[in-house]
Amino acid sequence: MSFGRKGLGPDEVPAGAIPARRAAPAADHNPQVAAFIAAERSRAAELGIPSTRYHETGGSLPEPSVITGARQPGPRKSMLLAYVLWWFGYAFAAHRFYLGDTTGAVKQAGLFLGGLVVMMIGAGSNTTLVVAIGMIALGAGFLWLLIDMFRIPGMCRRANAWADSPQRYFD
């Protein structure tokens, strides 16, 4: 039994693959292309543009500021300020807004404040079930805030990495 190509015997060798399209002729053999490239290189040398061919004389690696585009890093986020906002602005998820997690901040503040409102509505109408639902939501909000106490360093690192990222210019 053969595990090779269909229809080949055990001792037969398959023929080489046939390319789907022919390779284009090399640009080095075209005298017009070679003349154009030589003219562009000489024009770049006259203008003082460094060569990108590092094996040639005069070719060197570009400076790091040229590679990065001389971008300044964005504003840094302070972990101390994030903890202060966590302690005093917990009901509004101020620490998450500060660290750039707007979606999580809206969810967290909505859970906490919504649970508080539902609990107050239930207390005003003397409905125990509504108060219990509000207390469950409020408890979930407090639990999320306690978990955030341990997540703030990672969120701060992520916010600072985002501030240094070139991707921030496109969002």
pLDDT at site 96: 95
Domain boundary among 68, 94, 115: 68
The verdict on 93 and 155 lying in the same domain is: yes
Task: Report if residue 115 sits inside a domain.
Answer: yes
> Would you tell me the crossing angle of helices 128-164 and 102-124 to the nearest 10 degrees?
170
Q: Which domain holds residue 63?
A: 29-68
Surface-to-core class of residue 113, CB atoms within 10 Å of its CB (0-12 exposed, 13-18 middle, 19+ buried): middle
Last residue of a domain, one of 6, 38, 68: 68
Distance CA 105, CA 145 (A): 11
pLDDT for res 61: 56
How many helices (H) and strands (E) are present in the chain, helices listed first?
A: 6, 0
Helix 128-164 vs helix 79-88: angle between axes, to the nearest 10 degrees?
A: 170
Residues 86 and 56 in one domain: no
- List pLDDT tens digits, range 112-140: 999 999 999 998 888 889 999 999 999 99
Q: Between vectors from CA 80 to CA 74 and to CA 85, what angle results, nearest 5°? A: 95
Does 105 map to a domain?
Answer: yes
pLDDT digits (tens, 9 = 90+) for 93-116: 999 999 999 999 999 999 999 999
Does 148 share its domain with 85? yes
Number of structural domains found in the chain: 2
Residues 62 and 83 in one domain: no
